[in-house]
């Protein structure tokens, strides 16, 4: 059972896990250093706990004690209770969802271990936007992707915004991070995955004609420039989502990465 502790001072050092949630640079170093991440809102907190992430502490407005009573019963961690003004003072903005949890990260598996039993894998190269990463995990979970591999510099799936946009799907799909960008794809190939590169280049193979293979890793590139030329070259096949013939005339030359990922995952599910 969580211990209820009322907090009246937004500078209380016991709440250090929750400070300045919109300060991306601060949060990155603070979360890495302490091995934590923040879950926000009842649904997401429940998903994080259900999937086995250890709870470091919870922080909520009094009105959330009741809706979360069953969960608080089960966790062994301090439950800090603060009014909205104190909450805002800590995190730096009004917390509409009113309930936050600081969760402990778990060690990620090595890539070979992650993909050993995964038939359909997404590989994300250097995505920078946490919202996009979260949206792609949600898509992947809905459409039957087995695992996600991140390039060394890809944005963090457990960053607050990723978690929120994913609606908790980042807890549901196993993932790992490559340690070596240069040779990282080799580990997928060694595990028997056919490497498909998704590109906006309309001379690539249309995705509905792609040869998926029994085990497939679909590579998605960064928001602006797409996949690196190194990864494009390393692929077994480059595939594209055909645009409408009139799209260029309309000044639209590509889909955003979430839209492209959605269509590609849908194709992957039907492979």
> Which residues would be at the binding site for its own copies (CB under 8 A)?
47, 50, 135, 138-139, 141-144, 165, 167-169, 171-173, 208, 241-247, 250-252, 254-256, 258-263, 266, 269-270
Dist CA 34 CA 32 (whole Å): 6
Q: How far is the CB of 259 from its own copies (least distance, A)?
A: 4
CA-only gyration radius of the chain, Å: 21
Check if the beta carbon of residue 169 is closer than 8 Å to that of residue 137. Answer: yes
6 or 256: whose CB is closer to its own copies? 256
32 or 248: whose CB is closer to its own copies? 248
228 or 254: whose CB is closer to its own copies? 254
Q: How far is the CB of 233 from its own copies (least distance, A)?
A: 26
61 or 243: whose CB is closer to its own copies? 243
Dist CA 220 CA 218 (whole Å): 7
Concatenating the DSSP letter of every residue in 67-117 gives: TTHHHHHH--SEEEE--HHHHHHHHSS--TT-EEEEEE--PPPPHHHHHTT
Q: How far is the CB of 134 from its own copies (least distance, A)?
A: 10
129 or 237: whose CB is closer to its own copies? 129
Q: How far is the CB of 174 from its own copies (least distance, A)?
A: 11
Q: How far is the CB of 142 from its own copies (least distance, A)?
A: 5
Rama region for 190: left / alpha / beta (φ>0; ψ in -120 to 50; rest): alpha
Within 10 A of 14 (CB to CB), how many other CB atoms are there? 13
47 or 56: whose CB is closer to its own copies? 47
Strand pairing of 55-60 and 99-104?
antiparallel
266, burial (CB in 10 Å: exposed 0-12, middle 13-18, buried 19+)? middle
- Residue pointed to by tokens 């055909």: 242
Q: How far is the CB of 198 from its own copies (least distance, A)?
A: 13
């Amino acid at each position: 059972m969580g211990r209820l502790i009322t907090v009246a001072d937004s500078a209380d050092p016991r709440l250090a896990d929750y400070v300045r949630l919109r300060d991306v640079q601060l949060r990155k170093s603070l979360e890495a250093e302490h091995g934590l991440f923040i879950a926000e809102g009842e649904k997401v907190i429940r998903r994080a706990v259900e999937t086995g992430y250890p709870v470091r502490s919870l922080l909520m407005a009094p009105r959330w004690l009741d809706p979360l009573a069953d969960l608080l019963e089960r966790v062994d961690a301090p439950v800090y209770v603060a009014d909205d003004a104190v909450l805002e003072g800590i995190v730096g903005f009004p917390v509409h969802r009113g309930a936050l949890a600081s969760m402990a990260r778990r060690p990620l598996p090595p890539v070979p271990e992650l993909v050993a039993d995964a038939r359909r894998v997404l590989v994300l190269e250097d995505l920078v936007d946490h919202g996009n990463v979260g949206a792609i995990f949600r898509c992947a979970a809905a459409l039957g992707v087995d695992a996600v591999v991140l390039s060394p510099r890809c944005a963090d799936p457990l960053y607050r915004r990723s978690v929120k946009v994913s609606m908790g799907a980042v807890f549901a799909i196993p993932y790992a991070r490559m340690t070596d960008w240069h040779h990282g794809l080799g580990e997928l190939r060694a595990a028997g995955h056919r490497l498909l590169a998704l590109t906006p280049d309309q001379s690539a193979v249309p995705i509905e004609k792609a040869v998926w293979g029994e085990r497939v890793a679909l590579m998605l590139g960064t928001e602006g420039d797409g996949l690196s030329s190194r990864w494009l070259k390393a692929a077994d096949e480059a595939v594209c989502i055909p645009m409408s013939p009139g799209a260029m005339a309309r000044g639209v030359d590509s889909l955003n990465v979430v839209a492209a990922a959605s269509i590609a995952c849908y194709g992957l599910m039907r492979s």
